[in-house]
Structure 1
Amino acid sequence: MPAGPDRDAETSGCESESAPSTNRVRDSVSRRRVLSATATGSVTALAGCTELLSSGSGDSLRVSVWSGNYADRFEESVVPRYEAEFDAELEVQRGWNDILTDIQTAPDGDPPYDVTITEGNFYYYGRQDDLFHEIRTENVPNADELIDHYAEFRSTEYGMPVDGAPCTIVHREELDIEPESWSDLSAPAVEESNGIGVDTGFWWYPMYAAAVGMDDRELGAEMHDADLHDDVLETVRDWPITSWASSGEDIWQAFRNDVIDVAQWYYEQTAYDIDDYDGLTHTMPAETTGYLNHWCVVKGTDKRDRAEEFINFLMDASVQTAWSEEMPTLFCNENTEYAGDLADDLPSNSEEAASIAFPDWEFLAEHSADLSDEFTAMQQNS
C-alpha cells in the first residue's frame, strides 16, 4: 500500500458519490484536522517526509508518489519508460500524509506538484478542498479502456483510477489452518496461535476486513451502517492481535520474532517479497478489502496538458503490463496483461473487481473520527 518512507505499504463496498455529509466542515484548516484524524494514526511521525528523488529542470513534470518501495518500483518501471517515450524528465517526489498539506499550504499558482497520487481518503478530502483540476477526458483517451467497475464506482471527474491493491492474509505455512477468508481470523487455530498482526496507520482496512469476514451484509457493507460499527469493532477486538504494525517491516519482524503467525497486509507489498521469508506464505481471500489510487492534476500547475498526458500514459495497457513485472499491484486497464501468475489473484474484469470492498469515504468521513478513536483505544488497551 502507499506509505511514508518507513512504511512498506499503503495504503482504498464502493465509494458512493452521494450528497456531502451535513457535518462536513467547510474550511481548509478544519478539513486538515479531519484528515489528520483519519489518515495519520501511526503515520503521524511521517509528516514533512517528502524527498526529492531526481533533480530536474523547470520544465520537468513534478509527480508525487507514495514513499517506500512503491516509489522504488515506480522509478524502476515507470520513470525510464516515460522519459524515453516523451523525451521529457520526471521529477518524482516521495510523500505520504504530507501530500495534501503541501498542496494546501503552497502559494496560489505555485503548487509543489503537477500530478499527485491519491487513494480513497486523499481523493475524497482533496476534492473537498478543491485541490485538483477536473480531468479533461479528451486528453485521456485511455479512459475508454478502464474496467467498468473502476470507472463507475467512484467519480473520475477529478482523478483517474490507475492502480491499487487488495488486502491479503499472510501466514505461516505450518499453521494448523490455511486462512482462506477474513472470518478465519476468528478460527480456534488462529486464536491458539502466537497471534495476528494488523495495520494501525490505516485503521479502516482491518475494520473492512473484519466486516467482510462477518458476512452479515454484502461485502463489508457493515462499514456503511453506523448502527453496525460496534459489531465490527467487537470483531476486531476478539482477534488475538499481538502486533500493531506501522510498516511492512514491523510485520516481517513480528514474524521473525515469533510474535505473530498471521497478518492482515497488502498484496502489493507481499506477493513479490514473501519468498524472502522462510516458512511464510499468503492467501488472497475471494472477497477482501483494498485500496485504489486515483491520479490527479494539481490545481495551479502550468503544465495541465502534460499532466493529463502523463496520467493517460499511466493508464496505457502496455505500461501497466510492464509495470506489473516490477510491482504486483492491481491495474485498471481491461487490456493489461499481468506478469507471471498475478492474474490468479488480481481482478481483470468488473465481476472480479467487485469482490474488493473499497472504503466509501463519502460515508466514512462523518464517522471517521469516532472510529479512529475507538481503534486507537483498542490498541492502547491491548
Structure 2
Amino acid sequence: MSDTDNGRQATRRALLATGAGTVAGLSGCLGGGGTSGSEGTTTGTVESSAPFRNKTLRFSTWSGTNATVFREEIKPKYEEKTGGTLEIVPGWSEILAKIRSAPADSPPYDLTVTGDRQHYVGLQSDLWAQIDFDQLDNAGAIKDNLLREDPVSVPLAYGVMCYAYDEETIGFDPGPWSDLTSKAEDAALPGSFFTNSLQMASIVSQEMEFDQELYSPDGHDAIFQTLKEIDTSTFYTGAQDMWTSIDQGIANLGQYFFAYSLKKSQNTESMDIGLHVPDETTGYIDDYHLVRGTDRRDMAHDFLDFMLTPEMQTTYAQNFNMGMANPEADYPDATLENVPLDNEALQSISFLEWADVAQYSETLSERFNELKSNV
C-alpha cells in the first residue's frame, strides 16, 4: 500500500479539522466484517458466564510498568469474567518486525499496542485488520481528540512528557519547555525517538502556531535552531541511559514520560527526583490494533470493550499515571494534578502524526543525527 493509495492518512489532525471525531462516524465506514473467528461470534455484552473458555488472547503491550499493570491488575479480572486466558506479551521496537516475519495467517499476537510511527508503517504494510466499532458498547465514550480517522485502532490511554530532574542540582523551578533555552544547563534529550525532541522544540519555537513547525518544511529550520539553543549534555538512547546520566551528574534534567518518571521517582533512593509537566507539552497515545490473520477477533473486540469500561479504565489509571480514553475514569491525585484530562485540555498536548511528517522524516533524521554528533 503506497502513501498515495492510503488516502485516509490516518491522522487525528485531519479528523479534528473536519469535525468528524466520533466513533459513530467511524463505524459507518466499516461494513459488516471483523466478526469471524474460530471462537464463534459475540457482539455487545456477552451473556455467557464463560464465553471464551479454553481460548487464549495474545495481547502485546509496552514492556516494563505498563505490562506489569496488565499482568497483575487486568489479566486476573478479564480471565475471571470470560473464562479465557489473557497472555501478556511485552515489547517495544520489535513489535512490527515480529508481525512481518510471521505467516500472514499466524500472527505472533492478536492485539498489539503501537506508537504513531508503528501505526503508520503497519498501515502501509497491511498489518492491521479493521476494528468493528459496532462490537464495542463503550466506544462512544472515547474522547474525540484521541481518535484516528481510520477504523483500525482503539485508543485506551495516553501519556505526557515532563521535566524529570535532580532537585539538588537543577538550579531553577521548571516551567514551560522554553526554559530549556534560557535557564537549563546540562539537559538530557531524547535521541533514539528523535521526534520527541522535535515536537518539544516546535512548541518552544514561535515561528508557527503550537507544533505546526514539525509538519511544514518552512518550520524545520526553527526547530533545529531551537534545539541548538539548548545546553544539551547528552541525547539519551533509552530511559536507563537518561537516569544514569542524571544520577552521575552528566545531566541534571531530562525530557521523559510523566507516568514512567513518577514510578522511577517512587522507587529511587540515590537522588531526589522532581517532576513537572509544562502547560503545553508533548504526548503519546496507546492505540491497540487487531493484527491481520488473527482468529481471535471476537475475543479481541470483547477485551477492548472490557478495557473501555469505566471500571477497568479506573483500574488502569489508579495503577499507572496516564490519562484514559473514557472520561468516566477516576484518577489518583498525581494524575489529576499533572495530566490534561478533558477533551478540551488535550488540545494542549502535541500528539505526533507520523502520516503528516513521513515525507520529511528522512531529512529530519539526517539533520537530527548531525545535531547529535556535535554534542
TM superposition score category, shorter chain reference: 0.7 to 0.9
* 1:172-223 CA-partner distances (Å, limit 9, x unpaired): 3343321111101011x31xx3x00011121001110111112332221111
Checking the alignment, whether the CA contact within 8 Å between 1:146 and 1:333 is kept in structure 2 is yes
Counterpart position of 2:201: 210
Structure 1 stretches of 4+ with a deviation exceeding 4 A read none
Instruction: Give the TM-score normalised by the residue count of structure 2.
Output: 0.82
2:319 is the counterpart of 1:326: yes
Q: Which moved more, 1:67-76 or 1:208-217?
A: 67-76
Q: Which moved more, 1:162-171 or 1:79-88?
A: 79-88
Aligned pairs for 1:1-382 within 5 A: 14-16=12-14, 59-151=55-147, 154-174=148-168, 175-187=170-182, 189-190=183-184, 193=185, 195-275=186-266, 276-277=268-269, 278-382=271-375
How far apart, in 1, do the equivalents of 2:12 and 2:106 lie?
34
SS, match of residue 306 in structure 2 = helix
Counterpart position of 1:51: none
Instruction: Give the TM-score normalised by the residue count of structure 1.
Output: 0.81
Provide the aligned C-alpha RMSD in A: 1.9
In structure 2, the gaps of 5 or more residues are 1-10, 17-52
* 1:148-189 CA-partner distances (Å, limit 9, x unpaired): 2223xx2250001111211111123343321111101011x3
How far apart, in 2, do the equivalents of 1:220 and 1:236 lie?
14
Checking the alignment, whether the CA contact within 8 Å between 2:12 and 2:145 is kept in structure 1 is no
Q: Which moved more, 1:138-147 or 1:237-246?
A: 237-246
How far apart, in 2, do the equivalents of 1:215 and 1:333 lie?
33
How far apart, in 1, do the equivalents of 2:244 and 2:320 lie?
22
- Matched letter for residue 165 of structure 1: G
Checking the alignment, whether the CA contact within 8 Å between 2:157 and 2:286 is kept in structure 1 is yes
Q: Shift in Å at residue 239 of structure 1?
A: 1.2
SS, match of residue 321 in structure 1 = helix
* 1:298-342 CA-partner distances (Å, limit 9, x unpaired): 111111111111111122221111112221112111111112331
How far apart, in 2, do the equivalents of 1:90 and 1:377 lie?
44
Checking the alignment, whether the CA contact within 8 Å between 2:54 and 2:84 is kept in structure 1 is no
- Matched letter for residue 337 of structure 2: D
Counterpart position of 1:47: none
How far apart, in 1, do the equivalents of 2:274 and 2:109 lie?
38
Checking the alignment, whether the CA contact within 8 Å between 2:202 and 2:212 is kept in structure 1 is yes
Q: Shift in Å at residue 61 of structure 1?
A: 0.6
Checking the alignment, whether the CA contact within 8 Å between 1:16 and 1:362 is kept in structure 2 is no
Counterpart position of 2:29: none
Counterpart position of 1:5: none
Greater Rg, structure 1 or structure 2?
Answer: 2
Q: Shift in Å at residue 73 of structure 1?
A: 2.7
Q: Shift in Å at residue 228 of structure 1?
A: 1.2
SS, match of residue 107 in structure 1 = coil
Checking the alignment, whether the CA contact within 8 Å between 1:199 and 1:264 is kept in structure 2 is yes
How far apart, in 2, do the equivalents of 1:186 and 1:167 lie?
17
User: Given the superposition, is the C-alpha separation of residues 262 and 124 from structure 1 closer, same or farther in structure 2, using an over 3 Å criterion?
Assistant: same
Q: Which moved more, 1:356-365 or 1:243-252?
A: 243-252
How far apart, in 2, do the equivalents of 1:14 and 1:284 lie?
23
In structure 1, the gaps of 5 or more residues are 1-12, 19-56
* 1:98-138 CA-partner distances (Å, limit 9, x unpaired): 21122122212111111111121111111121111111111
- Matched letter for residue 262 of structure 2: A
Identity of aligned residues (%): 27
- Matched letter for residue 85 of structure 1: K
- Matched letter for residue 342 of structure 2: N
